[in-house]
Amino acid sequence: MANSETDEERQLTAMRNRARAELENLDTAESLEDWRTRYLGRERGELTAVLKGLGKLPGEQRKIVGQAANAVKMELEALLEARRQAVQARERAAALERERVDVTLPGVATPQGHVHPLSQVMRDIARTMKAMGFQLYDGPEVETDYYNFESLNLPPDHPARDMQDTFWIAPGQILLRTQTSPNQVRIMESMRPPVRAFVMGKVYRNEAIDASHEAVFHQIEGLAIDEGLTMADLRGAIAAFVEAMFGPGLRTRLRPDYFPFTEPSAEFDVDCMTCKGKGCRVCKYSGWLEMGGSGMVDPRVLRGVGYDPSVYRGFAFGLGIERIAMLRWDIDDIRLLMGNDLRFLRQFT
């Protein structure tokens, strides 16, 4: 009965109502924790204080107030737990809403790159040369006069130096290599025969640029040194290389030429792929396309690296990599290859 309630019971009911009313408005984990400390906390909780004060009450009243306080405690704890779960559920729902992904939206396409046509050719060359037993070497693009010219039988003032117009860094001493041939000497200096080596990379010539000439282009150089190698081995290597790069059925031919570091020397040609040897505009009606230079390594070059030319002989060949790409894909202007125009490059996926 209400009028038989003690002060303690009335206070308890008021506290319970206040606690319940407050709880209903709380909606964060922090405010719930604050509420719990204020009412149910071990140290300063209001309800805890009531329970702690029970000892001071007379016997019968202690029992009544004690039971009522415990009932309020259980009720508040249950309400707190229910509220906690409601708050957590709301926070989870809000997080899901924040991170909502519309899976029906179209995706963002990532542009895909591909290997540059010149790199594609270089990979094919490397695979071919390795299959033929040649090992890949690398050499500097900034080269000395000695390796680029002098060690290759081109002393200063030799007229053949004019065959390759040079970008000088320190005139007469340091230059941008005009050919990959200096690596013939570098490789031979680094090992004893037998040698089967190749080098690929950029070369530089101070030339007028046109549809078939760049000032910066790429060469591949092959070198083989052994006992008893002959011109027939050179011819066989070139034929095998051309067949691997362009497919079977193309003829190759050697044509006498001059390079200071090979003797005898030969340009080598392949059947024109456009007219299959019949003669057309591309091959200037000769039926043949010029691919590169070659020859038997000059005995003076061998002596220069300490190889005995009466024991060892070898052959070397070098050709333009752009030339191979142009033949393979029927490209009529060398400048397209390094022009970085995506409309051109996208054709080589």
- Residue 204 Cβ, how far from ligand FA5 at the closest point, in Å? 9
Of 229 and 319, nearer to ligand FA5 (C-beta) is 319
Please select the residue that binds ligand FA5; options are 83, 84, 213, 300, rule is CB under 6 A.
Answer: 213
Of 72 and 238, nearer to ligand FA5 (C-beta) is 238
Number of residues that bind ligand FA5 (CB under 6 A): 25
Of 9 and 141, nearer to ligand FA5 (C-beta) is 141
Give which of 199, 181, 77, 193 is closest to 137, Cα–Cα: 199
Binding mask 323-342 toward ligand FA5 (x if CB under 6 A, else -) reads x----------x--------
Give which of 117, 78, 167, 128 is closest to 247, Cα–Cα: 128
- Residue 347 Cβ, how far from ligand FA5 at the closest point, in Å? 21
Segment lying near ligand FA5 (by CB under 6 A), choices 79-87, 129-137, 301-309, 313-321:
313-321
Please select the residue that binds ligand FA5; options are 128, 148, 183, 219, rule is CB under 6 A.
Answer: 219
Exposed (0-12), middle (13-18) or buried (19+): which is 315, by Cβ within 10 Å? buried
Segment lying near ligand FA5 (by CB under 6 A), choices 81-89, 102-110, 213-221, 273-281:
213-221
Of 73 and 177, nearer to ligand FA5 (C-beta) is 177
- Residue 322 Cβ, how far from ligand FA5 at the closest point, in Å? 5
Alpha helices by DSSP H, the chain: 7-24, 29-40, 46-52, 59-98, 117-131, 145-148, 182-190, 231-246, 299-304, 321-329, 342-345
Binding mask 237-276 toward ligand FA5 (x if CB under 6 A, else -) reads ----------------------x--x--------------
According to the binding rule CB under 6 A, does residue 319 interact with ligand FA5?
yes
Give which of 177, 179, 157, 180 is closest to 167, Cα–Cα: 177
- Residue 247 Cβ, how far from ligand FA5 at the closest point, in Å? 20
φ/ψ of 204, rounded to 5, equals -130, 130
Q: In DSSP terms, which residues pair with 292 in a beta bridge?
A: 268, 319
Cβ atoms within 10 Å, residue 163: 14
Binding mask 152-181 toward ligand FA5 (x if CB under 6 A, else -) reads ------------x--------------x-x
Cα(80)–Cα(263) distance, rounded to whole angstroms? 100
The residues in 279-298 that bind ligand FA5, with binding defined as CB under 6 A, are 290, 292-295
Q: In DSSP terms, which residues pair with 266 in a beta bridge?
A: 256, 294
Cα(75)–Cα(180) distance, rounded to whole angstroms? 91
Name the strands in the sheet holding 195-204, side by side, starting at the edge strand that comes first in the sequence: 135-137, 195-204, 216-227, 312-320, 288-297, 262-271, 252-259
Please select the residue that binds ligand FA5; options are 24, 34, 138, 207, rule is CB under 6 A.
Answer: 207
Cα(101)–Cα(95) distance, rounded to whole angstroms? 12
Cβ atoms within 10 Å, residue 267: 19
Angle at 342 between CA 336 and CA 343, to 5 degrees: 80
Please select the residue that binds ligand FA5; options are 154, 225, 316, 337, rule is CB under 6 A.
Answer: 316
- Residue 124 Cβ, how far from ligand FA5 at the closest point, in Å? 16
- Residue 307 Cβ, how far from ligand FA5 at the closest point, in Å? 16
End-to-end CA distance of the chain: 92
In the complex, the residues that contact ligand FA5 under the rule CB under 6 A are 164, 179, 181, 205, 207, 213-214, 217, 219, 221, 259, 262, 290, 292-295, 316-320, 322-323, 334
